[in-house]
Amino acid sequence: MISLDRLKKYQSAVIDRFETDKLPMKLIEMGCIPGNEITLLHQAPFKGPIYLKVDQSYLAIYKETAKNIIVRLIS
Amino acid sequence: MSQSIKVALLGNPNTGKSSVFNVMTRLKQKVGNYPGITVEKKEGVCKLDDDFKARIFDLPGCYSLNANSIDESIVIELLLNKKDSDHPDLAIVVADVENLKRNLLLFTQVKGLGIPTILAINMSDQMKKRGIKIDVESLKKELDTQVVLISARNNKGFENLKKAIVQYKSISKKEIFDISTIEPNYFNDLGKTFPKESLYRLWLLIIQETNFTKLNRKRVTDTSEFRTLSSSALKKLQQKETVRRYILINEILRKTMETDPSKATGFGAALDRILLHKVFGYVIFFGVLMLIFESIYDFSSIPMDFIDISFTQLSNWYKSNLPPGNLTDLIAEGLIPGIGGVVIFVPQIALLFLFLALLEESGYMSRVIFLMDRGLRRFGLSGKSVVPLVSGTACAIPAVMATRNIENWRERLITILVTPFTTCAARLPVYAILIALVIPDVGMYQSLTLMGLYLLGFAAALVSAFILNKMLATSSKKAFIIEMPQYKIPLLRDVLYTIWEKTRSFIVEAGKIILAISILLWILASNGPGKNFSNAHQIVSSQYKDLTQSELDIKIQSHKLENSYIGHLGRSIEPVIAPLGFDWKIGIAIISSFAAREVFVGTLATIYSVDSDKQETIKNKMANEKRPDGSPLFTLASGISLMMFYAFALQCMSTLAIVRKETNTWKWPVAQLFAMTIIAYIASLTVFQILQ
């Protein structure tokens, strides 16, 4: 189990739980829900946003948001 | 009898909802603003059959009815408020076939409001290619409504959609998701307190945490019989609602939709690998920026010169073919050049919006944000602010309009306020003549000065953005979440419509302000108090006896301008601008150039009675200008001081007009005018006093 911000490029994981109850609703609406698969596709330079595929959505968020999402790596 | 119904078009962003709207209304649309805010309000009419019309409202794109943004709360307010004159009889949720699951979240919510809700699945032309199969008949049963496959790209399925709209009365209004299942006790309470009302409607009122809306939420939350929950408990319930809805949606889609994963193309992923590359990604983006810049700076000069010449000829023709008099002068010298001053911006606006529409519609703009956001975020700007800031180097008018695409209002406002600092093309003639005049033509001093002025423009924009970011209070710190939509080939029809609509709205809304100010400036410059103005001809001819007629005319013009209302204004501000190293003649030129910065050079030419557009001639005349004590007027100190003034001051009525249009209030353009003038004054004062 690691937090989402530590996922490496092209690594996939399953969302396990959230560390905060202040996770933005929009993220949940986009399919960021425990049990769904999540893949890190790109990382912007200079500690910029990360680009994820979660369920059917493609989205970009900041690492500070990703820190609150705990994922289980798919081996 | 002819019948008309109101239809709300809803959908997630990037589902092609606007394309659907364009097809349905055949581009006959009205675009305005929602009162008090700057979200676009779009309405159009769709003819269903001979005597049945639908008024279609293209609502702002939203992911849910949870009200995370102003856009979403506009949607909720309209759907909840039955008294609103635009309250729909029917809702159409436009979904993207490749993102059906997420789109159905919004659908199940809208369906819960008791409004008949049709599901229109767009981009159905992609189904075969993507290996997607949908059992439409059983989806209709599961969702308890009409489901129509459409393709806005190929104009397909719209006859079926129209048929479904015509039969809207037969569509079930029942909800398919029972909100009370997420917390039975709580909703039981709510139902007992308000027995006659829909639970889901009440729930939506309760969760309006940010009260953007006029809806009365307090009547529910302040009812003493009803147990209220803390905001974090409400948030948890909201999350639970979303999760439960997805469980239902997954179940429905398992029964009605098949996807062949082997058909998923790697095209988008491959493109992303190049466009988001940490080196090539930036190289490509700066290439795109350069292309945009070249177009609005260089290519647009061809149509702009044509417009300029045409209006000048029209004005001359008018003057020589109509009886001389005040009315002829007003039309030939005030009205025609004034309209020309509006139309001249059309090529730049059209070209910039061509590029912007292509960037947005193709999905590339989201990648730009992804790459640029980090660098710009610390200045309170968005990744999308890059395009306006760079376009501002050509002209602030299209650049300010280009901020429309920035969703976050705060980031958009900061971008609007700082864009006029970037060195626009109209400053160039002013800089060119001043640099030639006061910077020695040795080594690279002259070109370095010009480059320095460009850098100064960018620096001023970024620094002021940084300060504004600290000053403007944030109501809530929004997390950064953007969708990275699939790449698409833009639809020509939609791109052309965007260009047309932006150009039209500029001419109608900003154009009238520009026209009014330019006519006012012309009246002030061509009229004056007292005999000095009205007897200009006599006074000048008696002063200069042995001049030719044309030399005399130039002297008369110069005399008239000096004694016009603008001339008097220029004189009266001399005490204020003297500490900057400017005399009253420069004062006149500064006031006149509020029409457009480049007018500065022409006005000085008139004042100094130069009969030539040649920069060299004007420059020589300026170099010989003396102060009353005999020292030269244009020195290094006063020259650089003047450059500073033009670098920072908002010397452009068209910018004011466009900022007024884009912010929907006079408050921001007026604040901008004052702030920039004060900064310019302080910069010029400091420079002149140090260098003097």
B232 touches chain A (CB under 8 A): yes
Per residue in B90-137, pLDDT (tens digit) is 999 999 999 999 999 999 999 999 999 999 999 999 898 889 999 999
B450 touches chain A (CB under 8 A): no
Would you say B111 and B85 are in contact if contact means Cβ atoms under 8 Å apart? Answer: no
Would you say A4 and A38 are in contact if contact means Cβ atoms under 8 Å apart? Answer: yes
- Judged by CB atoms closer than 8 Å, whether chains meet at A44 and B369 is answered as no
Would you say B420 and B387 are in contact if contact means Cβ atoms under 8 Å apart? Answer: no
Backbone φ and ψ of B230, nearest 5°: -65, 160
Cα–Cα distance, B332 to B600 (Å, whole number): 21
Please name the residues in contact with B345: beta carbons below 8 A apart, sequence gap of 6 or more: B395, B397, B398, B506, B654
- Compare CB distances from B481 to A22, A26, A42 and report the shortest one's residue: A26
Query: Looking at CA atoms only, how far is residue A66 from chain B in angstroms?
Result: 11
Beta pairing partners, B49: B52
- Judged by CB atoms closer than 8 Å, whether chains meet at A48 and B370 is answered as yes
3-state secondary structure of B490: coil
Per residue in B241-276, pLDDT (tens digit) is 999 999 999 999 999 999 887 877 778 899 999 999
39-58 in chain A: CB under 8 A from chain B: 41-42, 44-49, 51, 55-58
- CA neighbours closer than 13 Å in the CB half-sphere of residue B151: 11
3-state secondary structure of A29: helix
Q: How many CB pairs under 8 A join A and B?
A: 105
Per residue in A1-53, pLDDT (tens digit) is 999 999 999 999 999 999 987 888 889 999 999 999 999 999 998 888 999 99
> What would the two tokens of residue B116 be?
């008949």
A19 touches chain B (CB under 8 A): no
pLDDT top residue among B224 and B170: B170
Query: Looking at CA atoms only, how far is residue A41 from chain B in angstroms?
Result: 9
Cα–Cα distance, B500 to B516 (Å, whole number): 23
Kindly report the CA angle at B400 between B394 and B406, in degrees rounded to 5? 125
Cα–Cα distance, B306 to B316 (Å, whole number): 15
Which class for A20: exposed (0-12), middle (13-18), buried (19 or more C-beta within 10 A)? exposed
Q: How far is CA B610 from CA A23, A46, B370, B545, B567, in A?
A: 68, 55, 53, 19, 17
Would you say B116 and B5 are in contact if contact means Cβ atoms under 8 Å apart? Answer: no
- Judged by CB atoms closer than 8 Å, whether chains meet at B481 and A27 is answered as yes
Kindly provide the b/e burial profile for residues B21-51, where b requires at least 16 CB atoms within 10 angstroms of the residue's own CB: bbbbbeeebeeeebeeebbebbbbbbebeee
| Percentage, residues of chain B above pLDDT 70 | 96
Q: Per-residue pLDDT for B612 more than 80? A: no
Band of pLDDT at residue B87, cut at 50, 70 and 90: very high
Query: Looking at CA atoms only, how far is residue B250 from chain A in angstroms?
Result: 11
| Chain B hits for A45, Cβ within 8 Å | 278, 371, 374
259-288 in chain B: CB under 8 A from chain A: 269, 272, 276, 278
A17 touches chain B (CB under 8 A): no
Give the best residue of A15, A18, A25 to mutate against chain B (max B CB count within 10 A): A25
Query: Looking at CA atoms only, how far is residue A52 from chain B in angstroms?
Result: 9
Beta pairing partners, A43: A50
Q: What is the end-to-end Cα distance of chain B in Å, rounded?
A: 82
Would you say B632 and B625 are in contact if contact means Cβ atoms under 8 Å apart? Answer: yes
Cα–Cα distance, B186 to B189 (Å, whole number): 5
| Residue B1, pLDDT score | 59
Q: What is the pTM of this model?
A: 0.86
| Residue B141, pLDDT score | 96
Cα–Cα distance, A57 to A26 (Å, whole number): 12
Cα–Cα distance, B228 to B226 (Å, whole number): 6
| Chain B hits for A41, Cβ within 8 Å | 269, 272
3-state secondary structure of B645: helix
- Compare CB distances from B480 to A28, A42, A49 and report the shortest one's residue: A49
Per residue in B495-533, pLDDT (tens digit) is 999 899 889 988 988 888 889 888 998 999 889 998 888
> What would the two tokens of residue B578 be?
């003297």
- Judged by CB atoms closer than 8 Å, whether chains meet at B370 and A51 is answered as yes
Q: Per-residue pLDDT for B470 more than 80? A: yes
| Chain A hits for B242, Cβ within 8 Å | 25, 28-29, 33
- Judged by CB atoms closer than 8 Å, whether chains meet at A60 and B63 is answered as no
